[in-house]
Amino acid sequence: MPHRTLTHCAGALAVALAVAIHVNSARAITVTSPGTRTVTQRNDLNRATLEISGTYVEAATQIEARAVPRAGYSGTATEWQVIDASPAGGNYSGTLNATGGWYDVEVRAVSGGTPLGNATVNRIGVGEVFITAGQSNSANHGAEGPESPTDDRVSAYNPATGWQVANDPQPVATGGGGSPWPSLGDQMTAKYDVPVGFYSVGWGGTSVAQWVPGAPGPDTDPLYDRLQDAINYLGTDGMRAILWHQGESDNGSNTSTANYASRLQSVIDQSRIDAGFDVPWLVALVSYIPPSNFDSNIISGQQLVIANDPFTYLGPDTDTLTGSPWRDGGGSGIHFSSIGLAEHARLWLEAIDNANIVLNVPEPNTCGLITALLLMHAPLRRRRHGRAGPS
């Protein structure tokens, strides 16, 4: 009987110690950044630097991290790497390099070679990031209801809560209906096999003049501030491109070709100053107001900017998507139907491909080493604002 009691107590003590170790391990370290579903823009070598920070509560001598591809998704696993060799004051920060992919990022506190505990942030992406701007058809005004991506790797940024699944309505952008961005995200992940992130700032019914830096917007605050906030959050080289879809309101106000072009160019110029590099723009051709009102002056203004700016590219011609089945109200509306949103997204993907701004990483093959060497010496597609140089 005493033997059974001793055995029972030993077993209970082992369980208690295991629980204590689990609790201490769980509390040994936390990760405050990146948050789940964060998508970081990769460079033209298919790499990105993940900034990692957090807190720890034990006497750690170093902090280590690694990236582990999520099951069924692309990515290259990393070994444990020291990201902070001298943490102090309960806080740590460092960086981890990763290739394009969808990861769980693990971070651990270490003391004298002994791990003290670890934390994991699920769903961290290295891929393609876009800012979307313009008026209602760049925002959430598709009349047949919100759209949702089918691929888990499609995310959207919400300044209030962080990155989230890119379900409509897109955060920040106006409207409560559908947008083309969930479908574009799905189509891009299918083509490029990397995560895609959107920061959407469009505002329905706005003219290009209202987007000019410093101009009052619909609620008196400058609309450009919304674009600037997105650029500031993502940072230099933090986005692949800005996607612009706007023009219907300028049709209604008889804007001239010269005025449209100069106003849009002022927006683009300021965005590049704020971004710190010549961020590419894709400008859609759009002027249509139903039932049959097109404005060649607006289209010419958009084309003029594209022709004169080496880092601005032709976006989709959505004036070709009129009537049924592309528009709402049985084809009589100005906003897109669900079918129209999917086609709108397909045209964006086609325009992005034609602009040749997205790295298309080949599948591994026997020429992989040669390809890597060529990529290392290839000129990058972007330059710093105001001077030539690598991005």
Which pTM does this prediction carry?
Answer: 0.87
- Distances, alpha carbon 240 to alpha carbons 41, 113, 139, 167, 194, in Å: 7, 40, 19, 21, 13
Give the residue carrying structure tokens 């800005």: 242
Residue 26: half-sphere exposure toward Cβ, Cα within 13 Å:
6
Q: 213 with 270: CB under 8 angstroms?
A: yes
Q: Which residue has the tokens 């003029």?
A: 304
* 3-class SS letters over 240-286: CEEEEECCHHHHHCCCCHHHHHHHHHHHHHHHHHHHCCCCCEEEEEC
CA gap 96, 50 in Å, rounded: 5
Query: DSSP H helical segments within 149-256, as ranges?
Result: 181-192, 208-211, 224-234, 248-252
Residues with Cβ within 8 Å of residue 83, at least 6 apart in sequence: 52, 63, 64, 65, 92, 93, 94, 95, 96, 107
Q: Report the residue count for the chain.
A: 391
Residue by residue, pLDDT tens for the chain (391 residues) are 444 333 343 343 333 323 222 333 446 899 999 999 999 999 999 999 999 999 998 889 999 999 999 999 999 999 999 999 999 999 999 999 999 999 999 999 999 999 999 999 999 999 999 999 999 999 999 988 899 999 999 999 999 999 999 999 999 999 999 999 999 999 999 999 999 999 999 999 999 999 999 999 888 789 999 999 999 999 999 999 999 999 999 998 999 999 999 999 999 999 999 999 999 999 999 999 999 999 999 999 999 999 999 999 999 999 999 999 999 999 999 999 999 999 999 999 999 999 999 987 644 433 333 333 333 333 344 555 443 333 3
Q: Do the Cβ atoms of 365 and 200 come closer than 8 Å?
A: no
Q: Sign of the C-alpha dihedral, residues 256, 259, 262, 265? A: negative
- Residue-range domains of the chain with CATH: 30-124 (2.60.40), 127-355 (3.40.50.1110)
Q: Which residues contact 299 (CB under 8 A, 6 or more apart)?
A: 247, 285, 287, 319
Residues 210/202, Cβ–Cβ less than 8 Å: no
Distance CA 199, CA 214 (A): 21
For residues 15 and 8, give the distance between their C-alpha atoms in angstroms, rounded to a whole number. Answer: 11
